[in-house]
Structure 1
């Protein structure tokens, strides 16, 4: 009888241990919780000149809800911001929001102000590194300059985004305004200032960002 009870206790302990080990394999997925997406951008992401809730970042929140993806969005974009401004703001944003994903949409104002391209590239690289060090996946959203800035400058500016992404293992959207700024009918997609996309362009902007961001969320 004693041997039978000892055998029972041993089997019971094995079952409990197996259950604990199985639970340990599941816990990290639950502990991770919903994704938190931090968007750090300029006026293109800050709804400049648009109705509140009509910009591409707000539309992103709606799409996540429609597709029942457990994620929240924090839009920390500031109109007029440069990569230097974003770089200085990012550490506090990372500490406050603890995002799982960071979308960096900056650089256009650097080019409009004629700031040195190496400085822009260095700022973007540092932002990617800081976000990754905080445990976030990074999506770098590129911009392009119109032809009147000169072909050489425009090509060098466009090339810095894929270079930063490749060097630091970030994901990339080459051009936020694909199909908008380079469209034959580009004028209809912009506000009167011909710089900021209008409300009709916002779904297109989201469609440019969404495929890569969706892949990132799936890999979380």
Structure 2
């Protein structure tokens, strides 16, 4: 797996907002593995937005793997679970046609306003990943204490990670992929 091309498809949390992409979890993955890792995170993107830009931002890069992390903006914009699933499956279908491996990222915890629906989405993703035997990267769990409280020191605003939060995300993905890169 030394010559690997990976595209990280997501929203502001993939991009590295409010910092630069060079401070994101995506950059940590690139530096630590030596892979070609492309940050296709766009602030404000929903799963529908990601599906729309898939041809240019993902398929044109001919990746071996796509890491998909999304759903937070959908929840904040009031998009239904049915529509979220539909857009998610559109993305996966397009990637499957190109025989691109998918790794699913579980969204971070957010404030109470959106967490109820986001937790449903997270569990749907977890079950889908298990059913389809996809790697599931549990970014969510690392942002909670052992007692289940949100580690607020890892957030700037209740949604976006601090620099330390992005480091935690980077370490999580490295732990997940370690068996693959031996």
Which TM-score band (shorter chain)? 0.7 to 0.9
Distance 1:119 1:61, change over 3 A: same
> Using the alignment, how far apart are the partners of 2:19 and 2:114 within structure 1?
30
* Counterpart pick for 1:59 among 28, 31, 34: 28
1:59 aligned counterpart, secondary structure: helix
* Alignment correspondent of 1:92: 56
* Counterpart pick for 2:89 among 125, 138, 142: 125
1:127, CA displacement in angstroms? 1.3
1:145, CA displacement in angstroms? 4.7
Q: Within 5 Å, give how 1:204-219 maps onto structure 2.
A: 204-216=168-180
* Counterpart pick for 1:43 among 2, 12, 29: 12
Q: How many residues were matched structurally?
A: 179
1:169, CA displacement in angstroms? 3.8
1:152, CA displacement in angstroms? 5.7
> Using the alignment, how far apart are the partners of 1:165 and 1:50 within structure 2?
30
2:15 aligned counterpart, secondary structure: coil
CA RMSD of aligned residues (A): 2.5
* Alignment correspondent of 2:139: 176
> Using the alignment, how far apart are the partners of 1:150 and 1:189 within structure 2?
18
Unaligned runs of 5+ in 1: 1-31, 66-70
Q: Within 5 Å, give how 1:192-211 maps onto structure 2.
A: 193-211=157-175
> Using the alignment, how far apart are the partners of 1:123 and 1:199 within structure 2?
30
Distance 1:119 1:142, change over 3 A: same
Distance 1:152 1:54, change over 3 A: closer
* 8 Å CA contact 1:94, 1:134 repeated in 2: no
CA shift digits 1:94-149 (9 cap, x unpaired): 43100001100111111112210111122112212211221211101112554724
Distance 1:150 1:48, change over 3 A: closer
TM-score under structure 2 length normalisation? 0.85
Q: Per chain length, whose mean CA-contact separation is higher, i.e. which structure has more relative contact order (CA < 8 Å, sep 6+)?
A: 2
> Using the alignment, how far apart are the partners of 1:123 and 1:217 within structure 2?
31
Unaligned runs of 5+ in 2: none
> Using the alignment, how far apart are the partners of 1:172 and 1:199 within structure 2?
23
TM-score under structure 1 length normalisation? 0.71
* Alignment correspondent of 1:187: 152
